[in-house]
Amino acid sequence: MSAGRGRFRGEQETIVRAQRYEPEAVEQLFDDNVEGLFRYVDSLVGDPVASEEVVRRVWQRALEGLPRYRRFDSGFGTWLERIANTLIGQAPIPTGDEPEARLRAALRRLTPDQLDVICLRFVAGLPVEEIARATGRSRIRVEALQHRGLLALRDAETA
């Protein structure tokens, strides 16, 4: 068994226990994922205080949805990132002329599917095949969403 499979198997066992709301298992999922989730969110939001609030809301939604969670090949962290993408996509669009503010504003104008793919691909660094498995889409569909998302970002930058 590869180290990756062993990690997923251990994670899956923790998730099953957490779905029964066993406190130790929920705490373990939190400990294993909170730092990476914060870095991911903060790279998109750019404000540590706002990022903490998004992370708090992600965990709230994750706990509410935990009984319905089904393991993705890419793991629990990817599920949390997808929740974060949804919440960030619903946030008000920032204002300002600095490049980071313009990029964040452009990201928030993407469709939810485009935002999901762009963030998982370029922020989380997942390969196309893993994004396809995690989102239940074909590889071609993921590539198309990525292409359209990148075009939309380019168009937003030149607008």
Question: With bands split at pLDDT 50, 70 and 90, how would you rate the model's confidence at 6?
Answer: very low
pLDDT at 2: 39
> Which two three-digit tokens encode residue 154?
């380019």
Q: Taking a C-beta distance cutoff of 8 angstroms, is the pair 19, 66 a contact?
A: yes
Q: What angle do CA 65, 149, 90 make, to 5 degrees?
A: 40
The CATH number of the domain where 15 resides is what?
1.20.140
Q: How many domains does the chain have?
A: 1
pLDDT tens, residue by residue, 112-143: 889 889 988 988 888 999 899 888 889 999 99
> Which two three-digit tokens encode residue 123?
């922020």
Q: Which domain holds residue 150?
A: 3-158
Q: Taking a C-beta distance cutoff of 8 angstroms, is the pair 117, 135 a contact?
A: yes
Determine the Cα–Cα distance for residues 29 and 11; give it in Å rounded to an integer: 8
pTM over 0.75: no
